[in-house]
Structure 1
């Protein structure tokens, strides 16, 4: 017989041995995501700080390109408009377009690839935007970026040098295609906004918009841990058998 409405929490050994390690893993994953959240917030703040600081000069030589990423930089030189390259870009205002990559020969003789900004497809040809063809020596500001493919190697798409269309910044190959003599091939520069006369290209394409879902991930892991605890308790919150009660009282 079972005592009516009487229940007792009576955990079993094997269920406990299975649940405790799982609970530890879930809580550990939640804590790890909170640590990742702190790291990502610090990274975003560092990037914004570099982009908002006073511009620096491009070092010579560039020994640690990773340490220069997202620093604002000032360049003085002459754009080599005949060497324009075109990188496939994200749509802007629901319009497909390209980034115009123009080599710039600096006063010290080095040549840097500069992403001057976005243009719609019908403005790809220089003749369609004559105001953008800056001549002579100019001084511009931009943000230092790293070249190369930043994703998984097996996902790397193929560029099309013959069509002059690039999906990622293969700086060595792009420099060769542009016929550069003394190229910088470990960094390039994204031009800041309002650095080009005329409406196009639209500069300022570097934005701090890193995906930051670590708090959601942490809450998910903690919720799963809480759910596991609830299932464990409910499973072991069993009705009390009268015979067990009798044995306990005896």
Structure 2
């Protein structure tokens, strides 16, 4: 066997390692694409469920709590509540509304029977954080309102979210335990959920109600197309390489 023949066989030998690694990578990419397709179906079902739920008639808060204790998902469930807002104890969560930075005002509402419910009354601009800057927002006497039930978070949603500054009453995420302590309330009296108040009759009213963000991102189709596209590109590159290697 001369040197030319040996070189030819070396060049035209089957690159098993390359083929094996390519098949493994291809399987991973296709699996990721399939996973995103399943996530897409799940997200579409979730959005449909939420859309149907928020347009349902409100139920009394007691019924919502009974459903929650039974293990039912009550996120975004419309509820009706009645009580008296405590003049002190507002908790302020950083937020934006229509591109404007500001705060969502969480104020404790004393219900019939003595329990306390934190109500997200809505949005105020950044410079209207303190109650004395918006005396028109003080709600006296018994109030009746409807809103959406929101479940509290057990922990900070992401390491990217800053820590809450309890001393300055500046929250980046809704920590019901910290809010309860900061407002000087007994934990056993606080209802274990929030209610986002609906829109008010007066659009100039502060806080601005009805600010619940229910526009959940749904990018799973784009993600699936990306993974499948990478799989197709990988198959094409390896196929062209093998074809060029053996076409002679």
TM-score after normalising by structure 2: 0.82
Are the aligned partners of 2:151 and 2:192 in contact in 1 as well (CA < 8 Å)? Answer: yes
Match of 1:21?
Answer: 24
Q: Which one of the candidate residues 97, 103, 109 is aligned to 2:108?
A: 103
Counterparts of 1:198 and 1:20, CA distance in 2: 62
Match of 1:41?
Answer: 44
Counterparts of 1:240 and 1:170, CA distance in 2: 66
Match of 1:193?
Answer: 199
Are the aligned partners of 2:76 and 2:149 in contact in 1 as well (CA < 8 Å)? Answer: yes
- Count of residues paired in the alignment: 232
Match of 2:222?
Answer: 216
Please give the secondary structure, in 2, of the residue aligned with 1:163: coil
CA RMSD of the aligned region, Å?
2.7
| Structure 2 residue ranges without an equivalent (≥5) | 1-12
Counterparts of 1:66 and 1:171, CA distance in 2: 20
Match of 2:146?
Answer: 141
TM-score after normalising by structure 1: 0.81
Find out whether 1:235 has 2:241 as its counterpart. yes
Q: Which structure's CA Rg is the greater one?
A: 1
Bigger drift between 172-181 and 101-110 goes to 172-181
For residues 171-229 of structure 1, what are the alpha-carbon distances to aligned partners after superposition, in whole Å with 9 as ceiling and x for unaligned?
12212322335532521111111267852111112122112111111111111111112
Counterparts of 1:186 and 1:65, CA distance in 2: 14
Counterparts of 1:227 and 1:194, CA distance in 2: 54
Are the aligned partners of 2:115 and 2:191 in contact in 1 as well (CA < 8 Å)? Answer: no
Counterparts of 2:202 and 2:70, CA distance in 1: 29
Q: Tell me which stretches of 4 or more aligned residues in structure 1 moved more than 4 Å.
A: 195-198
